[in-house]
Structure 1
Amino acid sequence: MANSYTDESGKFAPGNPGKPRGARHAATKAVADLLQGEAEGLTRKAIDMALEGDTVALRLCLERVAPRRKDTPVQFDLPPMECAQDAAQAAQAILQAVSDGGLTPVEASTVMSLIEQYRRTLELTEFETRIQALEMGR
């Protein structure tokens, strides 16, 4: 029996047979329907409760006004990276910054992944330069 997901033989039709783009879960739709037209009143009530000293309501309001940052800029000394081999010196600088307390291990891990990506870019550039030099030498 064919439906919108299968052909006449019962095999899945080409493409993604999952939910259509933009489809929402039934519970999400039910909550949205219940809240229809109530957003302004609920927001006003949360603000009033926060102003009266309700710490949960206050936190809720503040999280909407000034959400917590997912990350923050970090500053530390990093040697220039002009070739792929310079990545080792950069990694040493990051480890030293963690050791000195200038970076957290999570921050260092994030920066190290950036350095690794940059190292790969430098390595590829060096490789392409060598190939060009070899081809011109022919």
Structure 2
Amino acid sequence: MIDTQIETGTKWLATAGLRPTRQRLTLASLLVGDGRHRHVTAESLFEAARSDGASVSLATVYNTLRAFCEAGLLQEVTVDGSRSYFDTNTHDHPHFFWEDEGRLSDAPSEDLVIAQLPDAPEGAEIASVDVVIRLRKKT
């Protein structure tokens, strides 16, 4: 891994006050080391780490992704109730889910208009609104 990727990962962890353990630093560097936003699954990040020569278990990847979400470094996007993607862009924005490829990408937020939301039930407040637009190739 390139030193600048490690430095970027270290700074990213520091913004959330997370201790840069070896596993966290390895995964953080893969997630944000090149400065680009990405959408990953635990499995795809695990494979990327293994391909990079890192010794990390899938359970560690899951636990680390959860810790990153809790620290506000990642946004979890659930597309079908059982498959989660983790987004390094934590700002509110819609997503495209490419069903044929099993891939998540950002959708242009400037084109999305939500005119009104229903009132939250008594004693509750709306925490967030997730927009996932499912796409498939035309036949």
More helix by share: 1
Rg bigger for which structure?
1
TM-score by length of 1: 0.27
Larger RCO (CA within 8 A; separation ≥ 6): 2
TM-score by length of 2: 0.27
